[in-house]
Structure formats: C-alpha cells, structure tokens
Amino acid sequence: MPFSLLKFGLNKDYPFEQSPDLPQPSALKPTYDVVIIGGGGHGVATAYYLAKHHGITNVAVLEKAYLGGGNTARNTAVIRSNYLTPQGVRFYTESVRLFERLSNEFDFNIMYSQRGQLTLAHTDATVRAFRQRAEVNKHFGGRTELIDPVDISELVPTLNLSPAGLPVLAGLWHQDGATARHDAVAWGYAKGATQRGVELHQLTEVTGIEVEAGRVTGVQTNRGRVSAGCVVQAVAGHSAALAQLAGFQMPIVAYPLQAMVTQPVKPFLNPLVSSSALHCYVQQTSRGEIVFGGGSDPYPLYGTRSTLDLKESLMASAVEMFPFMSEMRLMRQWAGITDMTSDYSPIMGLSPIENYYVDAGWGTWGFKATPISGVTMAQLIASGGKVPELIAPFSLDRFDAFRQVNEMGATAASH
Amino acid sequence: MKILSCPLNGPRNIAEFIYGGQVKEMPDPAQATDKQWAHYVFYEHSHIGVVREWWMHAPSSYWFIAERHNQSDEVLRTYDPSELFGEGGPPLSMSELKPDSPEVS
C-alpha cells in the first residue's frame, strides 16, 4: 500500500475537498442568458456544448433533486444506433460517434465499452424487419448485420436458443452497440460545463414559468425568481407536466419502466443481448453485475414504485434467456418515469412559446442520445431558434401534420 | 398485487384489467380539422392529479370508467359508463372533463 494513502487515512480532511469536481453551491443570479430546467444527462450536455462550442456561459442548469438522479441514473445504459427510420438512424449514429471519444474529451473515464448489441428474432416478420434495419443502418455508416443461430451461439454461448419455447431464428448484430457508466456521463458533462462557467443549481425546483406576450421571460423556483433570455426544458418523465406549467400541451404519456440488477459475477456475457419477443434486454456491466430491463408498465403513472407483476415477468424472461441466472441473487430493483410519445421518437426543438425550447419525449431511449441531444440543442439555442437539420424531423408539430417518425418496432421491444 | 374494484365483478387483481386510455371527447370526424383530430388522437391530459380513464375487465370484456390519481395510483371511484354517457342515448356534455384542454384553433 502506498504510504501516501496512509497519510490521507490519518488526515481529517478528505483529500479531494481542495479541488472538487463541481463548484460549491452559490446563490442564484437574477438573470441568465439560458436557463436549462433539468440537471440530467441531456440538460448538462446542452450546457456543456453551449459553453464549449458557442462560448455561451451565462447559463444556469436548475435541478430539483441532484445531478443525474432521474432517468440518467435509472436507464440500462445501452448505446446503439440500429433504429429503423433514416431520420432516427442518422441522429443516433452521430450520438454513438460522440460517445466513442467522450472519455478523452472529458479527461474523465465514462467506462465506455463497445461490445456490440445483439437483438434476437423469433418470428419471420421480425427477421424481415431486421433485414430492413440492417440495410438502413449500413446506408448511414453504422455496422449492423443479420446473423444466424450458429453465429449467435458463438457470440453468446450461454444463451438459451429457444427461450420460452420461442426458437431464435436470427439476430440483428450491431457491432457499434456499447455501454457506459451512465452516472459518469452526467458527471463528465457537468464537470466540463461548470469549469467553463456554467452554474449547476441542485435542489432548485422550477415552480412556475413566466410568459409575456407569447415569449418566455423567466422562471420561478423554490429559491426565488430568475430572468432568462431563453429556457430549455429537459426533464424526462415530467416533460408533459412541465410543458403544461408553461402553458402548452405535449403528446406525451408518462409510464413507469422497471429494471433490476443482480449481484456481480465473473464475466460471461460480452455483447448486450435483447429479445424482441420477450421484451427483455440483458447486459453484464464492467463491474460484473447483470442489468436487465423489460417493457413499460401496463398503464400510465407519474410514480417510480415497483410492482410484483413486472418483477416476476422480467425475471422470468431473463431466466428464459440465461437459465443459470435462476441461481443468482438480485441486488437492486427500481423504476423510472418515461415520457412516451406515440411514435417512439423524441420531441425536440421549438415550442409554441417563443424562446422556450423542448428536449422531451425521450421515453425509454434517452441515454443513448445524450451527446447528440446536447450538441443539437446547443446549436438551436445559440442560433436563436434555427432548428438544426438533424432534429428537424422530431418537431412538436409533426403530430398535428401526421408526420410521425415511427421507431416503435426498433424501440419498444429492445432498447 | 394491486386491486382494482370492477363495478360489475367487484375487487379483482389489476392484472385482469386492460387500460384503455383517458376519457376524451371525440370531435365530429366529419367536421374536425386535421389538427383537432390529431389532438384527439395523440394528446392526453398530462397534469398530475386525478384522471378519468377507460378500463376493461378482460375475462368479462366489460368496459368501465375509473377515476385514478396518476401519481399515487389511488383509484378513487369506478363506475359504469352509462353514468357518464346515459343509457344508450347521446353522450352527456363532457365539458367538465377538460380542466386542461389544449387550445385548438
């Protein structure tokens, strides 16, 4: 043991107090150029790119609880771009590219690990849909192909090739699929943003949005009022409720999504594996724990309570895929509130209120989009409301025009 | 296990029920603009509080209405749809259902 560690053991001061990663809490300033509501991955990423790419640093990120404590901490940390629509694939492919170099950019390890993601098809219809997804992905520069059960058993020898009596016919093998430590992504962005002058205010809840003549002028918080040049909302599960506070509606329904994690074991599972029919996705973290999640709850709720029904079905599906998991112990189980849109694509860009921008509708697919959402939302803000081409298909008014971007098949069953 | 009280079958395990969306007033399909129709199809009341919803008891295919708090998950009341819509007659006025109805122009 190095003697320097012993020195810290005898010292009454914690060694890193001198140079903390995040600045100490400060008072709210009366006015900011940009107020970002929501201190999750998307909120702090937007602040980071505003400061880094556009030199806008008079920015406050307001978080009602603590940094990255909402869905950033609750997702199952899957990074992939093998979606179905050209609009979706183009967007998520860019996000995967940004993730690849994030640790270097932050000088902070986000434990990014590109191990590939495998989705299993159990019906001919799914195989056809997978062929289409593979071709769309390849067209936009992703690495995705269809593989047969022999290849699958080579990739994942421990997988049951007939889970719940549903034979695996083929797999969508997405080499770009990856995982990362989700908390670290939020921490890295927050550190980078605050070092550049952005203020992160935790335990600061927005209680009202001030709109004058169709234009946002400020927000009220539990710590007082602040004026804002523009406001961005990035609040995941509470997106529709917050929009209502601002005075408009969003076509979002909040559903809980439950997931769980086992005790850590020796590495046995390299790729991230999901089954399209069992609605179950399984991966082993770098720490050895098995994280698995399933479908959303059967009815909407603004709550994160767990239910026995979902626990049972989720564990049953995981055990069908990897039968030896029946021997393992669960360590934790939790839920997050997902803001689901009817087409399983996000809602990004302008809102009916001038200078009020939305980054919402992230349902069960928000973590993987964290970097690209930050980049594009920062572009939108810096340009004063000129919507970047990459996010134009995800506008709020697409629903009024029946121009949905349907990612249901590529999202709902496999994350 | 969560219990939902069915007006026809009494208290049952909630797994026996299927959620059918919020009770919304349907605009006249012949008269509605595309935007009004889109709002009817895609938008729901998103406030945190009590919502009025359609539920079905699957084994008996019986549809009813539940008033539920969408944060505490507490079901305040369940009743037969006739209470809201009348016995086979035209729907009663549902204006009181729309505390947060979006402005549709």
The ranges assigned to domains in chain B are 3-85
Per-residue burial over A303-324, b if 16 or more Cβ lie within 10 Å, else e, is: bbebbebbeebbbebbbbbbee
Helix (H, G, I), strand (E, B) or coil at A368: helix
- The structure tokens listed for A339 are 């803001």
Helices (H) and strands (E) in chain B, counts: 2, 6
How many Cβ atoms from other residues are within 10 Å of residue A174's Cβ? Answer: 24
Domain ranges of chain A: 26-74+183-252+343-411, 115-178+254-341
Distance CA A292, CA A284 (A): 9
Is any Cβ of chain B less than 8 angstroms from the Cβ of A247? no
pLDDT in tens, A371-415: 999 999 999 999 999 999 999 999 999 999 999 999 987 775 444
- Please report residues of B whose CB lies closer than 8 A to that of A307: 2
Given this model, what pLDDT does residue A16 score?
59
Interface test with B, best of A235, A239, A307, A400 (most B CBs within 10 A): A400
How many Cβ atoms from other residues are within 10 Å of residue A101's Cβ? Answer: 11
Domain B3-85, what architecture?
Answer: 2-Layer Sandwich (3.30)
Contact A411, A83 (CB under 8 A): yes
Contact A247, A216 (CB under 8 A): no
CA distance B60 to chain A (A): 19
Query: For chain A, what's the residue count?
Result: 415
Q: Would you give the distance in Å from CA A309 to the centre of its chain?
A: 25
Is any Cβ of chain A less than 8 angstroms from the Cβ of B79? no
Given this model, what pLDDT does residue B96 score?
46
Give me the interface pTM, i.e. the ipTM.
0.86
Given this model, what pLDDT does residue A24 score?
87
Given this model, what pLDDT does residue B104 score?
41
Residue carrying structure tokens 């509080």? B49
Q: In terms of Cα–Cα distance, which of A255, A257, A256, A260 is closest to A316? A: A260
How many Cβ atoms from other residues are within 10 Å of residue A87's Cβ? Answer: 17
A250 → closest Cβ in B14, B46, B72: B46
Given this model, what pLDDT does residue A8 score?
72
HEC-encoded secondary structure of A60-124: EEECCCCCCCCHHHHCCCEECCCCCCHHHHHHHHHHHHHHHCHHHHHCCCCCCECCCEEEEECCH
pLDDT in tens, A286-322: 899 999 998 889 999 999 988 888 999 999 999 999 9
Is any Cβ of chain A less than 8 angstroms from the Cβ of B33? no
How do the pLDDT tens digits run along chain A, 415 residues long?
Answer: 567 677 777 777 766 555 678 888 899 999 999 999 999 999 999 999 999 999 999 999 999 999 999 999 999 999 999 999 999 999 999 999 999 999 999 999 999 999 999 999 999 999 999 999 999 999 999 999 999 999 999 999 999 999 999 999 999 999 999 999 999 999 999 999 999 999 999 999 999 999 999 999 999 999 999 999 999 999 999 999 999 999 999 999 999 999 999 999 999 999 999 998 998 999 999 899 999 998 889 999 999 988 888 999 999 999 999 999 999 999 999 999 999 999 999 999 999 999 999 999 999 999 999 999 999 999 999 999 999 999 999 999 999 999 999 998 777 544 4
Q: In terms of Cα–Cα distance, which of A278, A243, A257 is closest to A413? A: A278
B70 → closest Cβ in A243, A300, A402: A300
CA distance A306 to chain B (A): 11
Full-model pTM: 0.91
Given this model, what pLDDT does residue A10 score?
77
Mean pLDDT of chain A: 93
How do the pLDDT tens digits run along chain B, 105 residues long?
Answer: 789 999 999 999 999 999 999 999 999 999 999 999 999 999 999 889 999 999 999 999 999 999 999 999 999 999 999 998 877 654 554 444 444 444 443
Quick check: B19 and A300 CB within 8 A? yes
Interface test with A, best of B42, B68, B71 (most A CBs within 10 A): B42
Contacts 24+ apart (CB under 8 A), A290-293: A290/A261, A290/A262, A290/A265, A290/A318, A290/A322, A290/A325, A290/A328, A291/A76, A291/A77, A291/A259, A291/A260, A291/A261, A292/A76, A292/A259, A292/A260, A292/A261, A292/A317, A292/A318, A293/A76, A293/A257, A293/A258, A293/A259, A293/A260, A293/A415
B24 to A301, A307, B37, B91, B95: CA distances (angstroms): 18, 28, 12, 11, 10
CATH of domain A115-178+254-341: 3.30.9.10
Domain A26-74+183-252+343-411, what architecture?
Answer: 3-Layer(bba) Sandwich (3.50)
- Please report residues of A whose CB lies closer than 8 A to that of B43: 249-251, 399
Is any Cβ of chain B less than 8 angstroms from the Cβ of A106? no
Quick check: A307 and B39 CB within 8 A? no
